[in-house]
Amino acid sequence: MKPAVISMALFLFALASAAQAQGNPVAGKSLYENGSGTTQPCVACHGNVENRRAAIDPGGDLDFDLVRARFLQAITAYPSQMGQYNAGFTEQQKNDVAAYIADVPKARPNLVDFRASATGVETAPATVTFRHAVTATAPLTLGAVGLSGANPADFRIRSAGTTCANNLVLAAGASCTVSVSFLTSTAGAKSALLNFPYTQGSTNVTRTAQLSGTVGDQPPPSSANPPGGGGALAFGWIALLLAALSAKRRGR
């Protein structure tokens, strides 16, 4: 491949990765508290960010896509108060402020679906990452991570690949991982919750990831929302492939 072709492919690759970026919570915090220069700060009407978190997903883990959708809906639904952000914020700034509201400790992916090849056969493990909020002002202390729900005995927390531990202290933005697999002795749909209890100041919260598993000839374990952005990667590889093909066609 010619350097120009390679750089085009890399550019497309970078674009694909950027499309997956969810906004910058630190920049969003500043927008929430100070506005963008031409817009009012959110605090002027809503006060503290906890007010918006409670309005959107009380007690929940504030998925970025949910927060962004609710913010965009409000811009349309309340034009006299919130319409200013339609043109007053760039797409990036909208994403940044949504990322700030969504910036709470959480486990991702929070839906993991396993397919075992047969009963009594353990699946490959999946990794669930628990991350503290990037804009947190205090560390959190993790409790004992464990399984509950309908079929906790059919899922296994594996020590290899698990760094989350009871009393682990996570600074703002820090994370730990749990490696979990599925092994069942009976056919049928199984489910469990993977729990991440934590304490921040005097507040006790439990975040969860929902695990499900079945036995059958389906593909290997898949994650509902992989943290690494598998879509962007796939798109990047397709871009590389297309670039290589077009270079070939032009006889280079």
| Interacting residue ranges for ligand HEC, rule: CB under 6 A | 32, 40, 42, 44-46, 52, 55-56, 70-71, 74, 78, 81-82, 85, 97
d(C-alpha 56, C-alpha 69), whole Å:
10
d(Cα 56, Cα 49) in Å, to the nearest integer? 11
- Closest separation in Å from C-beta 97 to ligand HEC: 5
Q: Nearer Cβ to ligand HEC, position 79 or 139?
A: 79
CB of 121 to ligand HEC, least distance (A): 45
In the complex, least distance from residue 32 CB atom to ligand HEC, rounded to whole angstroms: 6
Q: Which is nearer to ligand HEC, 4 or 55 (CB)?
A: 55
Q: Please, which residue, 82 or 142, has the CB nearer to ligand HEC?
A: 82
* CB nearer ligand HEC, residue 48 or residue 119: 48
Rank residues 45 and 171 by Cβ distance to ligand HEC and give the closer one.
Answer: 45
Q: How far is the CB of 62 from ligand HEC (least distance, A)?
A: 11
Distance of alpha carbon 220 from its chain centroid, rounded? 21
What gap in Å lies between CA 111 and CA 210, rounded to an integer? 5
Minimum Å gap between C-beta 82 and ligand HEC is 5
